[in-house]
Structure 1
Amino acid sequence: MKILICDGMHSKGLELLRAEDELEVLAPDQPGPEEVRRLAADCDALVVRSRTKVTADLMDAAPRLKVIGRAGTGVDNIDVPAASARGILVMNTPGANAMAAAEHTMALMLALARHVPQATQSLREGRWEKKRFLGTELYQQTLGIIGLGKIGSIVADRALGMKMNVLVYDPHITPETAAILGAEWVPLEELFKRSDFITLHTPLTPKTRNIINRDALALMKKGVRIINCARGGLVDEEALHEALVSGHVAGAALDVFAEEPPKDNPLLSLDNVIFTPHLGASSFQAQENVARAIASQIVDYLKRGIIRNALNFPSISPRDYERIQPYLVLAERLGHLQGQLCSPIERVEIEYSGPELTELPLDPLTQSIAKGILDPILAEKVNLVNAPMLLKERKIELVATTTSETRGYTGLIRVTVEGKGQRRSATGAVFPGNEIRLVRLNTYRLEAELEGVNLIVQNEDKPGVIGFIGTTLGSHQVNIANMHLSRTPEKDRAIAIVRLDDEAPPEALEALAKTPGILSVEQVRL
């Protein structure tokens, strides 16, 4: 079997692959797209980093391809749906570079506090400007961490070791979880007001995009310093530029940008900002870790059929896969829905019912639900293998049960989440033609598609509300694709699930939420 290393690999990973007698390893030096296409023609596996684009066209040129391994976490350069359609496994190495990203955050924070890059450049230019580069200590300063996943937790631990006061905002963990680490959980606005340094470690989602914006910056202390080694787009760069120029923000350290590489970005011209070109995972140890990890995963899959860290294929026999596939989609979307609607989540209850489901392996479905719940919560990538472990790490209890009760369907999945006094339930089914439907949300019965951008609006059951929703969205140039309605048996409350062509802007959501008779407005992407 042949393995093509497209973007280079640390020698330790190559040694692992070449030690296997049945594997032939091709490792050309920086091959171009045409050379990759030519060499991949008779390969069983591709190993890539971020440079090579694994497109549907490239897969078509590699008919023997069984697995694509990403030496890292992100798979933006791999067409995962195309791989799935071709039965090609896609795997990555989640968590292998978490330490590197956390330490890079600490490096940038220290460099920012003590003006290290600016002082270095000044000295290179022949100046000795001790008074100009007066720094600030981290000792007893307050660090605000937005997102307490694996990377955020490591940053918190290191900051506590430096005797900083650590505040944490993460809507998906409890104050008790933060306290175990030694941090204080606070609401986001309080974190903005109290922090001397703020660092981001959250995924980029509709809810977190521009989480640091003009309003957030206005709440912050004068002299605050901001570090972003997570995702471009979490910070409104125009608003940050204004705050840096005015002096309200003393400095910023950025490893990521909304556009990479940044072009004509005014932040690049400011003396009180330091930058690195997306180096969070770039350490010798991280590169060795990801190389060892992806090499061992490729060997396990090709030689032993063991699947680890797969992004698009659970541990299911080929015989069962065709039957379970639509339920896998349903399970993940139900989880994704609940992960966006409820926070923090402390307990997940899953009930599988109906003869079609109880005959199938249910662990992959449970893993799919866990993945769906965690995807909008965590900055690090979640897959079917690590999702249950990540749930345990976040102290989220998961219970799955089965019942033969059908309730009029051949198979039903109900996902109920609890947290901070909330209890929300979503039930889905697979209809003929493998169509996925939400058939119950809490007490509301309906048949809504689980796809795209949706507004979930609860309101008092009285005339005029539905018309107002349409008018308000129309006034903000938001087109409605379809709408599903339901109401309680008592006919006192109703719900509208409105599928949109595009996300509704914050102003439209605010206008709806402030309207008398509308009880809640939530936007989700499925």
Structure 2
Amino acid sequence: MRILICDGLHPQGLDILRADPDVEVLAPDQPSAELIREILPECDAMVVRSRTKVTADLLENAPRLKVIGRAGTGVDNIQVQAASARGILVMNTPGANAMAAAEHTMALMLALARHVPQATQSMREGRWDKKRFMGTELYQQTLGIVGLGKIGTIVADRALGFKMNVLAHDPHITPETAAILGTEWVELDKLWSRADFITLHTPLTAETRNLINRDTLSKMKKGVRIINCARGGLIDEEALYEAIVSGHVAGAALDVFAKEPPEGSPLLRLPNVIFTPHLGASSTQAQENVSRAIAMQILDYLKRGIIRNAVNFPSMSAREYDRLRPYMRLAEQLGHLHGQLSTPIERVDIEYSGPELQELPLDPLTQSIAKGLLDPILAEKVNLVNAPLLLQERKIQLTATRTTATQGYTGLIRVTVESKGQKKSATGAVFPGNEIRLIRFNTYRLEAELEGINLIVQNKDTPGVIGFIGTTLGTFHINIANMHLSRTPEKDKAVAIIRLDTEAPEEALNALRANPMILSVEQVRL
């Protein structure tokens, strides 16, 4: 396996990767976009920070690429949708640099409040401007935190240590959770109007881009100070410049910018704005943590299939993966079965039941079913990452529900597919030893292996049919490995799932279909 390191990585992470005998690490020094494009076609993984831009065009040139690792939190330099469409996992390392980013936020807040950089520069120039740099305390001031994730939570804790009043807004947490952290959850408009200091800790999305703009700035109290150590695009920098020049905003401390480096930005000319060159994660400890985390995550995925901190696939712990693995195999095989029996697929309904499946994340199972469904249908590469997008492209509706019914099994997966107005259903279970079985097909109860080459023969329940099937296959020198039989409660129809040693030719299938007692014959490869 080849792993390309695009923007440098701390030696601890490189050592983890290089210690694996199956891994070749390519780590050119600050490679150009042209060099990355040249090397990438032979790589299974790439690691980037904020410098390298991973575009759809670049990914077109990466047929082997399975995973992109962002050594850090933000992934706005990666076109995640394009990666997902090509089945490439995108993962980051949230939390590995949280302490560094939170402490840098506090450092900038204090420096902004007490004019530390400006006073330092004044002294370098031989002046003693004691009166010029009158500051403000943090004590009993109100801090507004937008985004109460890991970094925002650490900032809140530190600010409370300074005896600040802390307001917080995060659409993904409840007021009760905010209260447990010692903060007051408020709507954004209230945060803008009440805060003396505002700090941003949200990802950059379509909803958060230019979150601070002329409108929101006008709602803030006069003299507010703004800190941003998150993502540059969160602030309309032109609007911020105007608000500072007018005196409405007292100052700002910025570690990130819409364009990096921010060449020509008018903010650079303002004496009451302080800057650092994207240093939020630049501590020795953070770089060690990030490098170790991304190296281990990539190896876990490439070698063991364990997914952690993915932004385009549900993450799971190693323990969850061990418990999910047989169910993921069952789910994919049920999807694979339906993908060969039902075309065109219009709708998929999935039901998960049993006590074991009440405790486990189900999204990986649903995506395994989607992959199995599409594998027999599409010529393009289908995997767990791009399968949901491919379903959407084909307007295939999918629903998944969880029930507590057990039917005597610890975990059951039932997949019902609608095609041309007809429904077919298959239910599977995991048996002791992690063996997977098909236990119900439509209304038929049985217990069949979900592997190999199988004939599914539905027939009228009359004597002689099974003998005819065996004789016909024997005529074509097709050996039967095993056979599972079932019939309807009315005893008018039956099904045979017949495992074959070799694939039956079309002539054999047509010979079976010629018998008026046989209703359908379908061959599936699992």
TM-score normalised by length of structure 1: 0.59
Letter in 1 for 2:399: L
Asked if 1:92 is matched to 2:75, the reply is no
Deviation, structure 1 residue 368:
9.2
Matched ranges for 1:282-301 at <5 A = 282-301=282-301
Q: Assess if the C-alpha contact under 8 Å between 2:40 and 2:61 holds in 1.
A: yes
Q: Percent identity?
A: 73
Letter in 2 for 1:143: L
Residue-by-residue CA offset, 1:477-512 (whole Å, 9 max, x unaligned): xxxxxxxxxxxxxxxxxxxxxxxxxxxxxxxxxxxx
Letter in 2 for 1:65: L
Matched ranges for 1:37-436 at <5 A = 37-56=37-56, 58-59=58-59, 61-314=61-314, 317=328, 320=331, 356-358=349-351, 363-365=361-363, 412=399
Deviation, structure 1 residue 142:
1.6
Letter in 2 for 1:128: W
Change (3 A) 1:412 1:108: same
Q: Assess if the C-alpha contact under 8 Å between 1:253 and 1:273 holds in 2.
A: yes
Q: Assess if the C-alpha contact under 8 Å between 1:213 and 1:240 holds in 2.
A: yes
Aligned counterparts of 1:257 and 1:367: Cα–Cα separation in 2: 40
Residue in 2 aligned with 1:10?
10
Deviation, structure 1 residue 125:
1.4
Stretches of structure 2 that go unaligned for 5 or more consecutive residues are: 315-320, 337-346, 368-383, 386-395, 403-415, 421-526
Q: Assess if the C-alpha contact under 8 Å between 1:411 and 1:430 holds in 2.
A: no
Residue-by-residue CA offset, 1:259-300 (whole Å, 9 max, x unaligned): 333343322211111122232222222211111011111222
Deviation, structure 1 residue 199:
1.3
Deviation, structure 1 residue 364:
4.3
TM-score normalised by length of structure 2: 0.59
Residue in 1 aligned with 2:439?
none
> Alignment RMSD, CA only?
3.6
Change (3 A) 1:255 1:128: same
Q: Which moved more, 1:111-120 or 1:194-203?
A: 194-203
Residue-by-residue CA offset, 1:297-342 (whole Å, 9 max, x unaligned): 12222332322223344578578569879xxxxxxxxxxxxxxxxx
Aligned counterparts of 1:149 and 1:307: Cα–Cα separation in 2: 21
Letter in 1 for 2:127: R
Deviation, structure 1 residue 188:
2.9
Deviation, structure 1 residue 193:
3.0
Secondary structure of the residue aligned to 2:30 is: coil
Letter in 1 for 2:105: T
Secondary structure of the residue aligned to 2:234 is: coil
Secondary structure of the residue aligned to 1:100 is: helix
Aligned counterparts of 2:277 and 2:159: Cα–Cα separation in 1: 24
Letter in 1 for 2:299: V
Q: Assess if the C-alpha contact under 8 Å between 2:350 and 2:401 holds in 1.
A: no
Secondary structure of the residue aligned to 1:262 is: coil
Change (3 A) 1:176 1:11: same
Asked if 1:30 is matched to 2:30, the reply is yes
Deviation, structure 1 residue 359:
7.1
Letter in 1 for 2:351: T
Aligned counterparts of 1:357 and 1:150: Cα–Cα separation in 2: 34
Change (3 A) 1:167 1:76: closer
Deviation, structure 1 residue 208:
3.8
Number of equivalent positions: 355
Secondary structure of the residue aligned to 1:357 is: strand
Change (3 A) 1:6 1:356: same
Matched ranges for 1:446-485 at <5 A = none
Letter in 1 for 2:139: Y
Q: Assess if the C-alpha contact under 8 Å between 1:227 and 1:254 holds in 2.
A: yes
Q: Assess if the C-alpha contact under 8 Å between 2:331 and 2:365 holds in 1.
A: no
